[in-house]
Amino acid sequence: MTYSISKAEQELQAKRETLNLRWYPRYHLAARAGWINDPNGLVWFNGWYHAFYQHHPYSTQWGPMHWGHARSKDLVHWEHLPVALAPEGPEDKDGCFSGSAVVDGDTLALIYTGHKFHGDASDEANLYQVQCLATSRDGICFERQGIVVDTPPGLHHFRDPKVWREGDSWYMIVGARDGETGQVRLYRSADLHQWHDAGVLDEAEKEMGYMWECPDFFTLEDKRILMFSPQGMAAEGFNNRNLFQSGYLIGEWQPGQPFVRKSEFIEIDHGHDFYAPQSFLTPDGRRIVIGWLDMWESALPEQQDGWAGMLSLPRELSLGADNRLQMRPAKEVEGLRGAWFPWPVSTLKNQQTTMVENCEAMEVILNWDCANSSAEQYGISFGDGLRVYVDAQMQRLVLERRYPQHGLCGVRSVPLTAGASLKLRLFFDSSSVEVFANDGEACLSSRIYPDAARRELMLFAWSGSASISEAGAWQLE
């Protein structure tokens, strides 16, 4: 099959009319139809935020990748634009894979991976991934400029370029796999067209993965953050429980110098579904990150409804006193708020009580007084498939989902400080929950699939009492 933007648009228009919208997000960004995965090209250009994403418009399965495209004035209300890239050239005939976007004067430049096989696609020896450039003056229609970085000798997996400007030069990092070792490679350019190899910025040691996907590199409060999604890290206790992870290293770096690590690898989100996060700067200098709110090889029940996948809420990054990233909803998310409903509850004891009969799109605020709570478990449930609660015996905040009819059951958790209060912001959408704890100290994001008749929110406390100092919900418009 030959691909083109016009064919993709025709397909999306036809499919859009047949979607089942029972789980389609009310306020998260998803494709008009078909498949979506990694966010790409997050950027501010000519008065708009632009979000591109990996997209297969022809089915709800991963397929030859296109770049979907949407724009927003406020990061929460998105307008769909025509598909930006289709795999229609010799350099990307088997897919336009992930990448980034930068503003170069009056031009918006997309730098992406061209995915192609020279021969039998079942033989990885025939795989070549190259970095390509496409440019636009209006931010909507893009002119392809072809390959700007070829595949390094001996490599086959070489993808997901992230480009930024520093001083008089452009820099690019690319995720790669060298044998069984994941790495990030560095390049430098004066013009986005001619790139010079600057070596390996960092690579895996011990059990840090065989491939480092979707790398990002930025400065936060004088520290350098290398954020990436390693493949092949083994689960260890409560950590690395997903098939693939997303996390970061903190270090020091200056152009021409090696990257010096100052931290271990730290997961950035502890839920079931968060991958391939990418960051960008707002006009007022905030570092915002958006991720794919799904996980590879996980069941996606919405595929039967004509669509698959979505992106996370935009999240602002900061660096805590302990040199760990903190991630909280971008302030623009508050623009979704409608009516506020305070919940008249202060103590729960061996009970559960319904607070909302039918939750569709809500932000819930819960401040638990853990020092004055004796219950073994206390928290909030959504229908019969989701619980977010404190496990006092383990001293952990737990997100538990149970949808056996869809093959999705499991638990994720983060540690709590004994005796400290717990402030939660929980964002419920049609098929997702994002939990932010203690103003960004931890985040857990998961897809959920409630039955239409079971969308009630209930507070509970078992084997003792739980004290709550604030509780309520914002209706999200």
- Secondary structure (DSSP) of 170-211: EEEEEEEEETTEEEEEEEEESSSSSEEEEEEEEE--TTS-SE
Q: Give the bridge partners for 348, in sequence order.
A: 466
Q: Which one from 38, 178, 269, 273 is the annotated catalytic residue?
A: 38
Would you state the pLDDT for residue 203?
A: 98
**Average pLDDT over every residue of 357-382:** 98
Average pLDDT of the chain, as a whole number: 97
Q: Which residues pair with 410 in a beta bridge?
A: 401
- How does pLDDT run across 115-129, given as a tens digit for each residue? 999 999 999 999 999
How would residue 395 be classed by pLDDT, with cut points 50, 70 and 90? very high
Cβ partners under 8 Å of residue 263, min gap 6: 248, 249, 250, 251, 323
Q: Which pLDDT value is given to residue 438?
A: 98
Please report the pLDDT score of residue 251 as a whole number. 98
**40-74 per-residue burial string, b: 16 or more CB within 10 A, e: under 16:** bbbbbbeebbbbbbbbbbbebeebbbbbbbbbbee
pLDDT given for residue 342 in this prediction: 98
pLDDT value of position 432: 98
Dihedral sign for Cα 88, 100, 116, 194, please.
Answer: positive
Count of beta carbons in the 10 Å neighbourhood of residue 90: 9
Q: Which residue has the tokens 């770096």?
A: 253
Q: Are 326 and 441 in contact (CB under 8 A)?
A: yes
Residues in the chain: 477
38 is catalytic: yes
Q: What is the mean pLDDT of residues 35-63?
A: 98
Residue 206 confidence class, pLDDT cut points 50, 70, 90? confident
pLDDT of residue 223: 97
Q: Which amino acid is at 280?
A: F
**What residues have CB less than 8 Å from 301, skipping those under 6 apart?**
23, 403, 406, 408, 449
What pLDDT is attached to residue 1? 82
Tokens of 274: 């968060």
Q: How far is CA 447 from the centre of its chain?
A: 12
CB 287 within 8 A of CB 42: no
User: In DSSP terms, which residues pair with 275 in a beta bridge?
Assistant: 292
Eight-class DSSP state of 302: G
Percent over 70 (pLDDT), the chain: 100
- State pLDDT tens for residues 418-443: 999 999 999 999 999 999 999 999 99
- Supply the pLDDT for residue 188: 98
112: left (phi over 0), alpha (psi -120 to 50) or beta: beta
Mean pLDDT on 359-383 = 98
pLDDT value at residue 445? 98
d(CA 287, CA 281): 5
Instruction: Tell which residue, 271, 272, 228, 235, has the closest CA to residue 251.
Output: 228
Q: By C-alpha distance, which of 367, 361, 315, 314 is closest to 339?
A: 361
Question: What is the arithmetic mean of pLDDT over 346-356?
Answer: 98
Which amino acid belongs to residue 324?
R
Q: What is the pLDDT of residues 251-260, one digit of tens each?
A: 999 999 999 9
- Residue-wise pLDDT tens digits, 300-314: 999 999 999 999 999
Q: What's the whole-number mean pLDDT along residues 66-94?
A: 98
Burial of 243 (0-12, 13-18, 19+ CB in 10 A): middle
User: Tokens 């707002």 correspond to what residue?
Assistant: 282
Indicate if the alpha-carbon torsion angle 51, 52, 57, 61 is positive or negative: negative
